[in-house]
Structure 1
Amino acid sequence: EKMTSSRLIGPVAIDPNEQALFDAPLMALAQKSGGDLRKLLSAFFSFLDRKTDFYFVPHPDDPPESIKMGFREGDAEKLLLASYRQYPLRRMPKGVSNGKSGSAVAAPVAKKKTEPKKAKESTVEKNEDKGSNAATPAATVAVEKQTKEADIKTKSNNNNSAENKIRLTEEGKQIPVGNGGCSTKRKVTYHWTQTIDEATIVLPVPESTRGRDLSVDICTSSVSIIWKQSKEVILEGDLAAKVRKDESTWSLEGGALVITLDKLQKTWWKNVIVGDEVIDTSLIDSKRKVSEYDDATQGAIRKIIFDQQQQQLGLPSSDEILGVKPQIPPLPKGVEYIDADTFKQSKVSK
């Protein structure tokens, strides 16, 4: 019997005590995989396929209120992506990624977490020596200011590095990266990517930013992001094309504001905000994975691929294996089919 998943497609936070219960079996599975995360992930998704309704898609004719199993098409992928984006990417120190040090990975993380605390303690001790009664609040403000300045400086360095990597065509258009580009015209440099269905904007923000600090307004034809406290505009402008407002989302992920826009029409955009730098859309990788199509189209594509392979090997096609006769479409009046032999003879006689 398959377990039924929750209908919610957003990520869920796990209590630390509950996380410890998950860690034990997951660690055992990680060790069982011999360090190959592909095996671990393959086993996990195989479990979801065999034991849950993660890969089930409700029948299109079923009313939404009666659906108790499965996910609407695309919702399972959204849940997967939202879960992945819960945790920020961590840049490894130089030399660690090529195996020079086995313990250096954890050190930078610990250092990053403890440094603000040390700064706070140091400031408090200094103020106490002077006899100040307001030492702790002053230290806290100082630490918060230092942290925010460090965050902004880090983002600025990252943006400068990104700007240096922008490549242009002879016409001065950006060569697409992730089918999108980078805008440096505005106060805050942002990156964007796209598929035929969606466009995603990634804006750097301080690590300490909370959702309540921002006012994000996604309209059908425009977008606006403003700091609530200072009313300072982070990004504002008209979109390259219309989007579905209710299907578009935003989230904070590891020092970045990520805005996902659901395109109303399936077209490739040259830029995401009108007036910003454009990409060369002729260089976009427009190929789609088979899994991105609906079930009927996937079946038709796989049938064509199978038949082509069978033909190359001199083996029967899928229709011949199943004993299905090919359907001959009706011809216009006055036109008729002729067999291959008759066609060859007519060519020879000419």
Structure 2
Amino acid sequence: GMEKFDGVLMEVAGQCGGIQPLLDVFFSFLYRKTDFFVVMEPGTEAKMGFADGVAEQLVLKVFHTYKKHADSTRSKLKKQPQQQQPPQPQQQQPPQQLQLSPPPPAATASVGAATASGTRAETPNEAGTGEGGMASEQSGVAAAPVAAPSTEPPASQSRIKEIQDVYNGGKTSKYTWEQTLHDVTLQVPVPAGTRARDVVCVITKTKLSLKIRGHEEALIDTCYPCDARNGQEIWEKVRADECTWSLEQSSAGPQVSVYLEKEREAWWKSALHGDNEIDTTQVDSSRSMYEYDGETQGAIRKIMFDQDQKRKGLPTSDELKNEDLLRQAWDAEGSPFKGTPFDPSKVNFNAGGGSDMPLPGMMPPPDGPSQ
């Protein structure tokens, strides 16, 4: 698995001396050597990079995946008897390489994960001692009593308008959503002052439920959409084990971000059954270059290289190849240019890739190819 890269990454981490510099190095590499930060413009010939906002979603997806693993490990250690010391994680690198920058305030974002059965690994009781509230407990904040039920709407519908445009998704009165071919992300505004321990998020294979303690009405409690475009009803499903949620602060206020990994690759008309639908024929269905096979990637890179060379007034890949062949034949035995400085302008290549002047190794002999 991933462990095979540990040796290389340990060396890089040791030279960086910290997490922040290590991240800078990694994203610098993505910027300089890949198309990760290339924003795909509609109508371009080369399908490189990502549509605006997709690269950021990929980073968040990976972050939530490993945050879920970390939360699960922490939860298991917390459940061990207090008299039993939890096993110390093996340190595979010097402590200074693990030095973190000062952590953000605990209230900024708290993450909960979906368990194998689909429910988030949260409270074994209603006292707020589960995973969602763990960040508050570790910060020394005592659990507050559950507030009395409120008839006030859990989130202002007007806040939906303040959320930026979505990618391949839409907006409803309760949430915004966006999607790729592989996953769906919902952003659900919640009341100010909401803590992670107040969030009850249950993610199953077929249904999503989201409720705030102290509020009678659930924000979300419905199934995923039904695809009936091909004459048969197919109810969409998710991989519950890979789904997560997090409580985050946005410019519009607190919101619960729910990440759903689709069980099958498909474009959803809506995030949840019965909500406003979008026209899936209008979604951006472009793919990242890295989803193609090696041969196709090579062809795409060649096109991009040639376009860049033309913009700079430099030779294309085919022209460079011809020049390399010409250089090899320039001083070959029988060449009319042998012993003279290399000057490709003396040879004009015709449209078929041949040369107006024969050179050894580049043109067949006058009497035709050898038998």
For the aligned pair, the TM-score class normalised by the smaller chain equals: 0.3 to 0.5
Q: Decide which structure has greater helix share.
A: 1
Q: TM-score normalised to the size of structure 1?
A: 0.43
Q: Identify which of structures 1 and 2 has the higher relative contact order when contacts are C-alpha pairs closer than 8 Å and 6+ apart.
A: 2
TM-score, structure 2 normalization: 0.41
